[in-house]
A and B are shown apart, each in its own frame.
Chain A
């Protein structure tokens, strides 16, 4: 019996190890930089009451909702650099998938290979939304909650004891704790056949979980902050993750494939569980509204796809034409092939992961994706001047310039308030009064993507290009005081900014 369990779980564990090749990622999400900055700030000064980096007047108080994640991230990066953070967050993501994969009722547990395949499909489908980012912690929270609920549904009342502390921890790490509460509520609503005592206990544990979420620096205000973030149309317009998925992206096709396979498995399986159907349906609907939930769907679908595919297969395999085994197909040869395949896969994953953990890889990635050289230039030549940049680079500048309040805004947009965000949209999207935004804030320097429309616009206002960071594709632009209109255009294009006459010098 133990050997069977080992064989079954062995495949799943190997799959989880292989999935590290997808989940261990460099600092791809630009939010990581302001998380790092605020983590360091909290370590030094405690949780701030107001936004600490920007020269804008933040309309809302700082809700340090992810403070624990921020501090942990800062500590890990201080300890082992970006590589260690990448590795740990990859382990968290793969661990979440593993916990989810093992969250199946014992009597319906499918063959290990099937679960392993489902786990890998889930890992591929969620690749774009994992890495070093706070929502990955919510994936782990969701997986643990799922596991607890499955255990509760199969008679373990003790599992519920873990729900309130889990929620207390989760609420201090990421706003996704709301998902955990929602999962418990779905379990409660779809468990009409469960005993009254069991439902009462789940209700009490859920309520306890809700109360436990209040143990955080913002108290009740945490819930208001989460609600405001998800219901603010201005933020939705700016943050692609809060928008509907773009199914022209190939990775979202995998999400689609996963959903289609799950529906087919549901239809063909011999028995379905209302909790599974409602949970997956709700998360799928949420994913259509906001792409950030795609990874949650991938996670929720992992155990279901395995269980229902197994059920469908055993119910309908008789319809398929009979096949003969390969010559030499014996249990021993199968075992040998399995061990070899597992070893090969694990070795492949290691080969893929290890080079990503080096300091040089992290530095190269940073230089290619963030305006590193441009920020170096600004630190040397533009010290103390307010810097305009796009929201996704704002976090990086917050990390590079944590003192002096020279940074514009970054993707913790809720704290800045709608007026500041609208002002940013005015210049970023070149609305009618774009030209008044930067003078109004006394901004005379900018770090912007070389192809951005802001470049053309600023050139018409007399700004000039100081230098070019070709590695990240960014430009440093400045406006010399007193300059206006075409008179101040130096290295810029003739008249209106196009067709620059001379290439700007490199920033490095």
Chain B
């Protein structure tokens, strides 16, 4: 009575059907304007929707300010100019080129240019996934469906941020590696200049190197065990050499060769992984994460049902599943590496189950081209009108940003004639540094966790969680003012603390100064928030439920 799902052994990936092969050799115009082509075009354009938003990443602001300072000084900063706690620490600016790019874009067209370019970079990453998935010539509807699922699964981490550069480069790395293993040629040499740039843009270059090393190792095992679907040995050897070359190229960095070891510091820091939310494991009770769960489980189900997967694909899937279950930020890596495998596996299953499809007669080419133009134009227009333009037009001092960042509090602090030492919330240090560092103000902590060091992160954690030492930690550090989110536990306790006095509040932030020093700080008075049309007036006079959550 035990029932077999299948009794066949592992098999090689089935070859594409003749229909798929025929479709692959169709002229581009026919492929684009076929029903499948129309669907894919619409999907790839629609993929840009979730990738585009205003700035949500709290770290963006200090990156921007750092880039401005690098351009201003003509070199790396050496030490941190933003804090009063770790200003003597040597600063490894592993994202210096991204920061310069942000500053240059900002100087050109403000935040709009940053949003536009980072959205385009994210979309390019998705395009690279699409191109890699096409190697196995899946059916267009499976390909499109897989792309939709991937983009939705990655929703928790999309947005304009430096990590999207690593996402795009990781996708490009995997595309070039797959291309090389399947077809050979010299295109893989592009990896060398790519790593040169990537190594200076973001420390995530280590992921790219890791992916290549994993593929080389998997191919070596596949050769040892004579597994089907393995790449020619010569190409694997070339890839191994390219890996070594890429590693050497990454050492060409303004921070010096030690940049290669830098990312391991973050990976080994318990304090960073505890304090920073995006290093936490995904919460599958959250609906946006459940889509990732569905993609993961369905991928496993497809693999078990098909029992046919290349070892290098299996290795990439395995490693990215482990990484993404560890930290929600790694869902992007899962999407980058596993989406083509999902599509390929789904296609294999569909092909096994599907009866031969009847070939349809296509309408005349003119009508098809018009349909394609109308469909793509419509999707593009909706995207630009409803997503891109509002995101680009969102001003720094808009209500949208004022709900997430200390926009109004920074304005109030800027009116103080004295430079202040501000004990701040971890996620708001970047914005305060951006707005107030020129004024001479210093923050307690900001988002470069490696620069802050585990000791400071743990100490900050003690204050944030209102441990019994909070007051002495804050005072010993030389703090002039505490600026925290309204409603945070620390704020709620400080409201009752007799030695501290509330000196400012808005719906987003509240500030306290030591009672015995408040007069000497020359703090501006509490704003009245009465100026009509002003962002802070709107924030202060509108109930949170009525405030617009949409950008623009």
Contacts and interface: CB of A to CB of B under 8 A. Distances in A.
B7 interface: yes
A248 B300 contact: no
Contacts of A155: 1
27 contacts: A153-B1, A153-B2, A195-B1, A244-B282, A244-B285, A248-B273, A256-B325, A260-B322, A267-B303, A270-B7, A277-B5, A277-B304, A288-B293, A320-B225, A431-B487, A435-B496, A453-B467, A455-B468, A460-B496, A486-B499, A495-B497, A496-B497, A497-B468, A497-B471, A498-B468, A498-B472, A498-B473
Contact of A456 (B4, B493, B500): B493
Interface string B482-499: 000001010011101111
B6 A315 contact: no
A499 B472 CA distance: 6
A243 B470 contact: no
Interface string B272-286: 011000001111110
A460 B226 CA distance: 71
A236 B475 CA distance: 37
A456 B226 contact: no
Interface string B331-374: 00000000000000000000000000000000000000000000
Nearest to A108: B2
Contact of A457 (B7, B274, B493): B493
Contacts of B500: 496
B496 A274 contact: no
A105 B498 contact: no
A151 to B, nearest CB: 11
7 shortest interchain CB distances as A-B pairs: A498-B471, A495-B499, A430-B489, A496-B497, A453-B466, A486-B498, A499-B472
B88 interface: no
Nearest to A257: B322
Interface stretch (A186-194, A366-374, A392-400, A404-412): A186-194
B466 A430 contact: yes
Interface in B493-552: 493-494, 496-500
B301 interface: yes
Interface in A428-458: 429-432, 434-435, 450-451, 453, 455-457
A240 to B, nearest CB: 12
Main secondary structure of the interface of B (DSSP, over half): loop
A493 B10 contact: no
A486 B2 CA distance: 73
B255 to A, nearest CB: 28
B481 to A, nearest CB: 15
Given A496-B494, A496-B499, 19 more contacts: A105-B2, A108-B2, A194-B3, A244-B285, A248-B326, A263-B300, A268-B307, A270-B9, A431-B487, A434-B492, A435-B496, A457-B466, A457-B493, A460-B498, A485-B496, A493-B468, A494-B499, A498-B468, A499-B471
Contacts of A432: 487, 492
Interface string A319-339: 110000000000000000000
B318 interface: yes
A198 interface: yes
Interface of A: 105, 108, 153-155, 190-195, 198, 233, 236, 243-248, 256, 260, 263, 266-268, 270-275, 277, 281, 284-285, 288-289, 315, 319-320, 429-432, 434-435, 450-451, 453, 455-457, 459-461, 485-486, 493-500
Contacts of A459: 468
B493 A319 contact: no
Contacts of B9: 270, 315
Given A285-B297, A289-B285, A273 B468 contact: no
Contacts of B225: 319-320
A245 B281 contact: yes
B496 A260 contact: no
Contacts of B273: 248
B258 interface: no
Interface of B: 1-7, 9-10, 225-227, 273-274, 280-285, 293, 297, 300-301, 303-304, 307, 309, 318, 322, 325-326, 465-473, 475, 487, 489, 492-494, 496-500
A194 B6 CA distance: 16
Contacts of B487: 431-432
B29 to A, nearest CB: 41
B5 A273 contact: yes
A154 B1 CA distance: 6
A285 B325 contact: no
A451 B496 contact: no
A125 B47 CA distance: 39
A346 B273 CA distance: 39
Nearest to A154: B1
Given A431-B492, A432-B492, A498-B472, A191 B3 contact: yes
B1 A191 contact: yes
Contacts of B499: 486, 494-496
Given A453-B465, A499-B471, A244 B4 contact: no
Given A497-B471, A499-B472, A430 B284 contact: no
Nearest to B280: A246
Nearest to B487: A432
A327 B282 CA distance: 51
A273 B497 contact: no
Given A244-B281, A497-B468, A460 B1 contact: no
Contacts of B6: 271-272
Given A270-B9, A285-B297, A319-B225, A460 B282 contact: no
Contacts of A271: 4-7
B489 A453 contact: yes
A46 B226 CA distance: 69
B471 A267 contact: no
B115 to A, nearest CB: 31
Contacts of B309: 267
